[in-house]
Chain A
Amino acid sequence: MDIYSILFWVLSVIAVGSALGVIFSRNPVNSVMFLILTFFAISGHYILMNAQFLAIVNIIVYAGAIMVLFLFVIMLMNLNADVEPQKGQLVQLAGVISGGVLFLVVLAAIKSAKGEVIDTHSTDIGLIANLGRVLFTKYVLPFEISSVLFLSAMIGAVVIGKKEPVHEGVKDEQHN
């Protein structure tokens, strides 16, 4: 058993265990912490597969920005207690069964896929020089379109989050 396999299994156990922690922990803050742990394990997998740039971006964007946003919203709403009403036992069981059935069906479909042994030698396709070259030649149009997407998401978030002015009619109804 070489070092690659040992690291693969350790990171996989961490990723799956903390993903289960996300969906089973009662406190939303604990869920966020488990999800951050999952993202770190997935970043470890990226480093194993010579995708160093994506590993760093995954930590910066997901663990650094998105999860902080989640934590910020949870703290803002004061949800860090386990006050969430639970779904019925039957509905939870149905959720687990349907997820498990999906797992089994896709597992049966991909079981016959011929696996190739992963080449553990390092390559330079995941380095930022190579990725940047491909991004700015082959994928320059999607790159520019994603800037428009970001702009519209920013405007959308501001518009949704804006406080609505109280309508006159509503005010009158409240007085009456």
Chain B
Amino acid sequence: MPVNSSHYLFLSLLLFSIGIMGTLMRRNAIIIFMCIELMLNAVNLLLVSFSKQYGDADAQLFVFFIMVVAAAEVAVGLAIIVMMYRKVHSVDINILNRLKH
């Protein structure tokens, strides 16, 4: 069976859903952050497959910009997690619900 462009749609949808499940299931802030990276990569894979399908280089540049933004996001996000660990000595997100009060 030759590979279809909808195979890539299903694959990236599956990876994205796994990322959503991980974000909702886990309590460790670092694991949640890693699941967000997984979702970003699922979208990147889909963009590259569209680039292949339509023979256009623009989608690959969008992937490049997504990687740039993800690198900046990781720098700030890990700084926030380190700061949170320094305050409460845990990376459990349930402790953060004191922000509500």
User: Does B10 lie within 8 Å of A107, measured CB to CB?
Assistant: yes
Residue on A with the closest CB to B62?
A139
CA distance A144 to B55 in the complex (A): 26
Interface of A is mostly: helix
Q: A20-B18, A118-B4, A146-B69 are in contact. List 9 more A-B contacts (CB 8 A).
A: A49-B49, A62-B37, A73-B82, A84-B27, A84-B31, A131-B60, A131-B61, A153-B75, A157-B78
User: 6 closest A-B pairs (Cβ-Cβ)?
Assistant: A95-B24, A23-B22, A115-B6, A99-B21, A153-B72, A115-B4
Would A31 and B34 be within 8 Å (CB), given that A23-B26, A49-B48, A115-B7 are in contact?
Answer: yes
How near does chain A come to B23, taking the closest CB pair, in angstroms?
A: 8
User: Does A134 lie within 8 Å of B58, measured CB to CB?
Assistant: yes
Interface positions of A from 55 to 103, Cβ below 8 Å from B: 57-58, 61-62, 65-66, 69-70, 73-74, 76-77, 79, 84-87, 91-92, 94-96, 98-100, 102-103
User: Does B9 lie within 8 Å of A99, measured CB to CB?
Assistant: no
A166 within 8 A of B: no
How many of chain A's residues touch chain B, expressed as a range? 35 or more
Residue on A with the closest CB to B81?
A73
How many of chain B's residues touch chain A, expressed as a range? 35 or more
| Residues in chain A near residue B51, CB distance under 8 A | 49, 51, 125-126
User: Does B2 lie within 8 Å of A5, measured CB to CB?
Assistant: yes
Which residues of A come within 8 Å of B, CB atoms?
A: 1-2, 4-5, 8, 12, 15-16, 19-20, 22-23, 28, 31-32, 35, 38-39, 42, 45-46, 49-51, 53-54, 57-58, 61-62, 65-66, 69-70, 73-74, 76-77, 79, 84-87, 91-92, 94-96, 98-100, 102-103, 106-107, 110, 113-120, 123, 125-126, 130-131, 134-135, 138-139, 142, 146, 149-150, 152-154, 156-157, 160-161
